[in-house]
Structure 1
Amino acid sequence: MAAAKKELQLQLETQVNALQKFQKDIAKNHQVRRQYTIQHGENEMVQKELELLNDDANVFKLIGPVLVKQDLVEAKTNVNKRISYITAELKRLDATLKTLEESQAAKRDEVLRLQQRIQGGQPGKGRA
């Protein structure tokens, strides 16, 4: 009986550790997604500003401490590519997050089942 209880405790500990890893991965995903969302908003703002410019307007790009003149069409193309890339990354992060959340829910269910098995094998212990 004691060996079975120890085995259940070890299984529970393993599952709890796996659950905590999923929680950390989800938190990291949220952090990265937040950064991409900020970048997406900034790039959309730049895109709107570039659309307001005349075709002969001077556009400069900050590279390190230097402003470098850039063609308006090239600037618009670069911003559109960045927005496309960020949008694709956000979709990828959303898909990853969905998978992580599903895995987390499954692990949580497994932890609860193990806890119930452990508690079920301990008559006389009160439920608080």
Structure 2
Amino acid sequence: MSTVARTKLDKELQKAVQTVQGLHKEVQKGIAAHSQLEAQLNENKIVLDELALLTDESRVFKLVGPILVRQDLFEARDIVTKRLDYISGEMKRHEKAIKEAEDKQEVSRKQIGEIQAQYQSIAKK
């Protein structure tokens, strides 16, 4: 086959490899963010468990900057519950993005395999 066809295959291969590398970075970034969210989720679950142990007369304080501000127990529970819902939603969003990137990565890998097969057919000729 001609050098023009080979050059075209080289460009296609290079593009596919760059796509796989970019998607790999995207997956790694998503996994790191997901891990961080998982840690935050666990911390907030512990806080909610601790708040559940308190009585209605218990005092709850929230750290705002360098000072502690008194907070209503019911309000604190509500805030932590909403935070848990938000973090769970973000985790699902990251899981979906990771899955999509992995699927795209697989498609690009198949494309690389096809290009390599074309190289082999050229080499045989």
State the TM-score, normalizing by the size of structure 2. Answer: 0.96
Does structure 2 retain, via aligned residues, the 8 Å contact 1:9–1:118?
no
Correspondence 1:34-113 to 2 at 5 A: 34-113=35-114
- Output the CA distance in 1 between the equivalents of 2:107 and 2:25: 16
Deviation at 1:96, TM superposition (A): 1.2
What stretches of structure 2 of length at least 5 have no aligned partner? Answer: none
Q: Which residue of 2 aligns with 1:18?
A: 19
Q: Which residue of 2 aligns with 1:123?
A: 124
Deviation at 1:120, TM superposition (A): 2.1
Q: Which moved more, 1:115-124 or 1:3-12?
A: 115-124
- Output the CA distance in 2 between the equivalents of 1:65 and 1:122: 70
Does structure 2 retain, via aligned residues, the 8 Å contact 1:19–1:107?
yes
The number of residue pairs the alignment matches comes to: 124
- Output the CA distance in 1 between the equivalents of 2:3 and 2:18: 23
Give the percent of matched residue pairs that are identical in Structure 1 and Structure 2.
Answer: 35
What stretches of structure 1 of length at least 5 have no aligned partner? Answer: none
Letter in 2 for 1:7: K
Letter in 1 for 2:109: R
Q: Deviations over 1:79-119 (max 9, x none)?
A: 00000000111111111111111111001100111112112
RMSD: 1.1
State the TM-score, normalizing by the size of structure 1. Answer: 0.93
Deviation at 1:123, TM superposition (A): 3.0
